[in-house]
């Protein structure tokens, strides 16, 4: 982080805003003492975002009925609405089928570990449905681990990193429409709700291991990565 005096920062303010947007940080000092800083918005609350990475493997004994995705299954990320690439600040939906293997520390989660790290770093904004949040907290809660339940609730409902999509009448109606015959590959109720929540939350891509959900999404023209 480079340092500028107040007068110099005032003169160069438009330039410094552009540099902050690109990821640079500037410290503003008066008489040698720091008084302010210009930082990218996506770096705010960095400690809360990094708390996500600390959860890897924390749910090793949770969700005993969880089945890891089969070898060679497609995924884990597909575009929504024809999006071909994800820019800085993109909203990316992720569901329990992708998060549970990562929280359990399973080998299958390595394929999308970098994607979760990108959300944790603030480069993308995560989008979660209430159904996914419920599934995540159920794991430790059913084992009586209130402390881990509280950690999951705090991390995955942090507004600095996540958009949490409530089950509103609009989301419920959208999910029902996605299940109508003739609208595409058959989606189960859970998959339809996840997709409707992702779209309602403004997501441009989806991270999931649900084969029926992924089959309903358009095939990418190129990998939707930064």
Q: Are residues 20 and 64 in the same domain?
A: no
Is position 220 within any domain? no
Partners of 117 in beta bridges: none
Q: Are residues 26 and 125 in the same domain?
A: no
Is position 18 within any domain? yes
Q: Given the structure tokens 């995705």, which residue do they identify?
A: 69
CA proximity to 97, closest of 203, 174, 193: 193
Structure tokens at 103: 């929280």
Is position 222 within any domain? no
pLDDT-above-70 percentage for the chain: 81
Domain encompassing residue 194: 47-215
Lowest mean pLDDT of 1-10, 128-137, 202-211, 213-222, name the range.
213-222
If one compares 62 and 48, the residue with the highest pLDDT of the two is: 62
The 10s digit of each residue's pLDDT in 111-126 is: 778 888 888 887 888 9
Looking at residue 30, which CATH number applies to its domain? 3.40.1620.10
The count of structural domains within the chain is: 2
Whether the model clears a pTM of 0.85, i.e. scores above it, the answer is no
Position 81 pLDDT exceeds 50: no
Position 42 pLDDT exceeds 70: no
Q: Are residues 14 and 70 in the same domain?
A: no
Q: Are residues 203 and 185 in the same domain?
A: yes
Position 104 pLDDT exceeds 60: yes
**DSSP state, residue 167:** -
Q: Are residues 119 and 20 in the same domain?
A: no
Please, which residues have CB within 8 angstroms of residue 137's CB and are 6 or more apart in sequence? 149, 152, 153
Q: Are residues 75 and 20 in the same domain?
A: no
How far is it, in rounded angstroms, from Cα 84 to Cα 113?
A: 20
Is position 142 within any domain? yes
Q: Are residues 31 and 135 in the same domain?
A: no
How far is it, in rounded angstroms, from Cα 158 to Cα 122?
A: 12
Q: Given the structure tokens 């089928």, which residue do they identify?
A: 97
pLDDT band at 36 (very low <50, low <70, confident <90, very high): confident
Q: Are residues 61 and 30 in the same domain?
A: no
Neighbours of 54 (CB within 10 A): 11
**Confidence (pLDDT) at 153:** 94
pLDDT band at 222 (very low <50, low <70, confident <90, very high): very low
Q: What's the mean pLDDT when you consider all of the chain?
A: 81
């Amino acid at each position: 982080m480079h340092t500028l005096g107040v007068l110099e920062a005032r003169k160069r303010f438009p330039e410094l805003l552009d540099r902050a947007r690109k990821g640079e940080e500037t410290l503003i000092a008066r008489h040698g003492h720091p008084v302010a800083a210009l930082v990218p918005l996506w770096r705010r609350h960095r400690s809360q975002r990094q708390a996500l990475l600390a959860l890897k493997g924390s749910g090793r004994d949770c969700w005993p009925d969880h089945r890891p995705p089969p070898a060679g299954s497609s995924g884990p990320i597909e575009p929504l609405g024809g999006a071909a690439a994800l820019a800085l600040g993109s909203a990316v939906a992720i569901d329990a089928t992708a998060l549970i293997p990562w929280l359990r520390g399973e080998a299958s989660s390595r394929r999308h570990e970098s994607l979760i790290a990108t959300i944790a770093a603030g480069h993308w904004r995560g989008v979660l449905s209430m159904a996914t949040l419920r599934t995540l907290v159920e794991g430790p809660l059913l084992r009586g681990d209130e402390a881990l339940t509280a950690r999951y609730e705090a991390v995955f409902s942090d507004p600095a990193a996540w958009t949490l999509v409530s089950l509103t009448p609009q989301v419920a109606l959208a999910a029902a429409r996605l299940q109508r015959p003739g609208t595409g590959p058959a989606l189960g109720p859970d998959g339809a709700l996840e997709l409707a929540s992702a779209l309602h939350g403004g997501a441009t891509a989806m991270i999931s291991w649900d084969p029926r959900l992924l089959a309903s999404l358009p095939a990418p023209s190129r990998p939707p990565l930064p």
